[in-house]
Amino acid sequence: MDNYKIINVLKVIIIILFILLFSLFFLSIYNDFKVVKPVIQFAKVSDEEIEIKPVKIPDDTGETPALTIEPVIQQEPNNKENTQEHINSNKFYYDQLEEYSKLIYESLESNKDSLKTGNSKITLPNKISEVIETENAEENMKAVFSLAINAFEYDNPDIFYIDTSKLILFYERDRLGNYNIYLKNDNQTNNYFVNGFDNENDVEQAQEQINNIVQKIEEKIQEMNTDYEKILYIHDWIVNNTKYDEKLSKTNRNSIYGVFIEKEATCGGYAKTFKYLIDRLNINCIIIQGEATSEEKTENHAWNYIQLDNKWYGVDCTWDDPIIIGDTSVQNREIYHTYYLKGQNVFNNSHKPFETFFSTNIITNYPELNETDYV
């Protein structure tokens, strides 16, 4: 009888131990599901300094990129000729991307309206986890993410309200090896807006202000008969209504908001606004980043290529805008056309695009400028 009781007691103890071990096992799995591991913080380079988290081409500093990423994930060579039938300027930089960067770009594009909330979580395709599994995972993901963000920004100048330095890529991984990859604002900020925008209503109000200005511009353009006249009017409107931010002090100096609303910008703002307005005419136009040389001084710069009559020409609204020392007004000044619809014989003497795509080892396939100026 005593032996029987002892056996029963042992059975109970064994069952209790089994239940405890089983509970601890599932608790560990649960904790794995809860842990969120930030992979990358995309930090946008300011005009004053270059940050390498990840690589971003600076807009106005005159400094060259300090790091070249050599990702394991390589892009297949783009063998398309730069001809009219192949170039889609609305997705020019998207077309340069490798597979994984395109997936991130497409996710941003499909959630473009959600970005206006400033804190919408954007889920990325699980296929991107293949990058996380590579040997140099963090560096490769930096490259993939950098390419996507830069391309999306330069193809879409209308996202003036997004501060890409606040968009963070996160992933979760459970014990079974499954990933959940997504973009959202970092844990230190409430949103990924540019400073000055606090909510979706602020974005909508700013967009309405811009729309009202654009409507007046387009009313004038409707009176014109040729694309040349329309392009010239847009070029002159930007130059005549914008003051160059020499002190690099304006938060929105590299966006269309800086031009349309604050009336003050740097080269990035000039180039994005030109593309923004030209895109509405369904004329091919792209933003170019590179180096420009004036009076033996070379600096980083942004300008545009535009297609007219099936040929490509260079346009630099920034350098056609005279800076008047001591004069704060921007209207009724002489407008230059030194860098308006110029061919490579003139334009390439001072403007040189970066050969590689946003500081990586991927070659950018730019359209070739016409040899001579537009006449």
- Is it the case that residue 128 has pLDDT exceeding 60? yes
According to DSSP, the residues that pair with 292 across neighbouring strands are 299, 351
How much is the pTM?
0.80
Position 288 scores a pLDDT of: 95
Structural contact between residues 305 and 288, judged by C-beta atoms closer than 8 angstroms: yes
Note the pLDDT of residue 363.
80
Each residue's pLDDT tens digit, 30-42: 333 333 333 344 3
Q: Of the given ranges (101-105, 184-188, 313-317, 338-342), which has the lowest mean pLDDT?
A: 184-188
Mean pLDDT (whole number) for 336-354: 95
- The pair of structure tokens assigned to 222 is 């409707």
Q: What would the CATH number be for the domain defined by 200-359?
A: 3.10.620.30
- The residues, ordered by sequence, that sit 6+ positions from 135 with a Cβ below 8 Å of its Cβ are 72
Contact criterion met (CB below 8 Å) for 293 and 303: no
Q: What is the pLDDT of residue 172?
A: 81
Beta-bridge partners for 293: 298
Q: Report d(CA 346, CA 286) in Å as an integer.
A: 19
Parse the chain into domains and list their residue ranges: 1-34, 36-185, 200-359
Q: What is the spatial distance between Cα 103 and Cα 115, in angstroms, rounded to a whole number?
A: 17
Residue range 241-264, pLDDT digits in tens: 999 999 999 999 999 999 999 999
